[in-house]
Structure 1
Amino acid sequence: MEETIKEYMRTSVITVSSSMDIREAAKVMTESNVGSVIVIEGDKPKGIVTERDIVRAIGKGKGLNDKVDDIMTVSLITVREDSPVTAALSLMRNYNIRHLPVVDDQGKLKGIISIRDVAKALDNIYENSLY
């Protein structure tokens, strides 16, 4: 039986609202020691802002007082919590991303999985297959 995303995702997702400014989002990321924040609307993910997004925005002349809504990635790639870990890896490789919001079957945000989490999962799978 293949291990699922739910077993390796982090359920404490750092979220922000789309009306937050870039400076505030960067501060939240720094204080939480994370590389991305999920922009939520209600209980559903609306977008994601990563360290790369902030750097690109500043490089393109955006100000720190501009809103997260202006720089977030809205073509959000998500993965269901009951999907196999290899599905997350496949999505990350295909879309060249390092963080995936995890949703339930109704699209509600349940967690986040990073490439680091996937690597740990695959390492565990590999270790277990040796015995």
Structure 2
Amino acid sequence: MEEIVKDYMKTDVVSMEKNVTLREVTKMMTMKNVGSIIVTESGKPIGIITERDVVRAIGNDKSLDEKAGVIMTSSLITVREDSPITGALSLMRTYNIRHLPVVNQEGKLTGIISIRDIARALDDMFES
């Protein structure tokens, strides 16, 4: 039996709605000690703000009052929670990303899976 994303994802994903400010995003990133925040609209993931996005925004003279929806990377790649681990790995390799937001069949955010989680899943697969 192939491992699936739901068995390895983290459900304590940090997300914020698109109308929060860059100031609120950076405070949350600091408080939660994370390098990215998933941006949502009505519970559905629509973008991501990474440390790199924050640096780019400040470097481009964006205000800390700028909305997350303006600063986020909107070309968000997601994976379904019932997808095989190998499918998640393929997406990460194709798009050169280290974290994938996980969604259910309705497209609602249910977790996040990292390259470290994928490595653990593959380790489990090969130990069996």
Q: TM bucket by the smaller chain?
A: over 0.9
| Alignment correspondent of 1:33 | 33
| Alignment correspondent of 2:83 | 83
AA aligned opposite 1:43 = G
| Alignment correspondent of 1:55 | 55
Identical aligned residues as a percent = 62
Quote how far apart the aligned CAs of 1:50 are: 1.1
Find the aligned partners of 2:43 and 2:14 in 1 and give their Cα distance: 13
Deviations 1:27-72 (A, max 9, x none): 1111112221111111211111111111122222222221111111
TM-score, L = length of structure 1: 0.90
Find the aligned partners of 1:5 and 1:72 in 2 and give their Cα distance: 25
Find the aligned partners of 2:95 and 2:36 in 1 and give their Cα distance: 16
The question of whether the paired residues in 2 share the 8 Å contact of 1:22 and 1:67 is answered with yes
Consecutive unaligned residues of structure 1, counting only runs of 5 or more, are none
| Alignment correspondent of 1:65 | 65
Deviations 1:71-92 (A, max 9, x none): 1111211100000111111111
The answer to whether structure 1 residue 3 and structure 2 residue 3 are counterparts is yes
AA aligned opposite 2:76 = L
| Alignment correspondent of 2:21 | 21
Find the aligned partners of 1:59 and 1:85 in 2 and give their Cα distance: 37
Find the aligned partners of 1:119 and 1:61 in 2 and give their Cα distance: 38
Consecutive unaligned residues of structure 2, counting only runs of 5 or more, are none
Deviations 1:5-39 (A, max 9, x none): 00000111211111111121011111112221111
**Which aligned segments of 4 or more residues in structure 1 are displaced greater than 2 angstroms?**
none
Q: Secondary structure at the match of 1:75?
A: coil
The question of whether the paired residues in 2 share the 8 Å contact of 1:6 and 1:81 is answered with yes
